[in-house]
Amino acid sequence: MTVPQFFFILFALITLLSGLRCVTTPNLFHAALYLVISLFGVAALFAMLEAGFLALAQLIVYVGAIAILIIFAVMLTRGMVQPSGAQLNSQAGLAAVVSGALLFILLRVLPSFNYPTVDAAVPADLTTRLGQSLVGEFVLPFEVTSVLLLAALVGAIYIARERSKKTPSPPGPLSQNRKDDFGRGGAADSPLQSIAVVDGRGTGGEVVVKED
Amino acid sequence: MIPLSWYLIVAAALFCTGIYGVLARRNSVGILMGIELMLNAVNINLVAFWRYLAPDTTTGQVFALFVLVVAAAEAVVGLALIISVYRDRRSIDAEQIDLLRW
ipTM reported for the complex surpasses 0.90: yes
Straight-line distance from the first to the last Cα atom of chain A, in angstroms, rounded to the nearest whole number: 75
Residue of A nearest to B86 (CA): A77
pLDDT in tens, A74-90: 888 876 555 555 677 77
Cβ separation B37–A8 shorter than 8 A: no
Work out how many CB contacts closer than 8 A connect A with B: 252
What mean pLDDT is predicted for residues A50-62? 92
Res A183 pLDDT > 80: no
Q: What is the mean pLDDT of residues A21-35?
A: 90
Asked whether the predicted pLDDT for residue A34 surpasses 80, the reply is yes
In the three-class reduction of DSSP (H, G, I as helix; E, B as strand; rest coil), residue A1 is classed as: coil
Q: What is the mean pLDDT of residues B42-58?
A: 91
Chain-centre distance of CA A183, in angstroms? 30
Identity of the residue in A65, A76, A95 whose CB atom sits nearest the CB atom of B72? A65
Shortest Cα distance, chain B CAs vs residue A40, angstroms: 11
Cα–Cα distance between B91 and A46 in angstroms, integer? 37
CA distance B79 to A157: 11
How far is the C-alpha of A9 from the C-alpha of B1, rounded, in Å?
13
CA–CA min distance A212, chain B (Å): 23
Task: Point out the residue among A12, A22, A153 whose CB comes nearest to the CB of B21.
Answer: A22
Q: Is the predicted pLDDT of residue A150 greater than 90, yes or no?
A: yes
* Residue among B9, B25, B77 minimizing CB distance to A23: B25
CB contact under 8 A, A23 and B20: yes
Q: Judge whether residue A68 has pLDDT over 50.
A: yes
User: Does A40 lie at the interface with B, CB-CB under 8 angstroms?
Assistant: no
Q: How far is B52 from chain A (nearest CA, A)?
A: 5
Beta-strand (E) ranges in A5-122?
none
User: With 50 as the cut, is the pLDDT of residue A41 above it?
Assistant: yes
From the number of C-beta atoms within 10 Å of its C-beta (0-12, 13-18, 19+), residue A99 rates as buried
Q: Is A36 on the interface with B (CB under 8 A)?
A: no
pLDDT in the model for residue A195: 46
* CB-based contact, A108 to chain B, within 8 Å: no
The pTM of this model reads: 0.80
pLDDT tens digit string along A110-141? 888 888 888 888 888 888 999 999 999 999 99
Q: Which of A34, A66, A148 to mutate against chain B (most B CBs within 10 Å)? A: A66
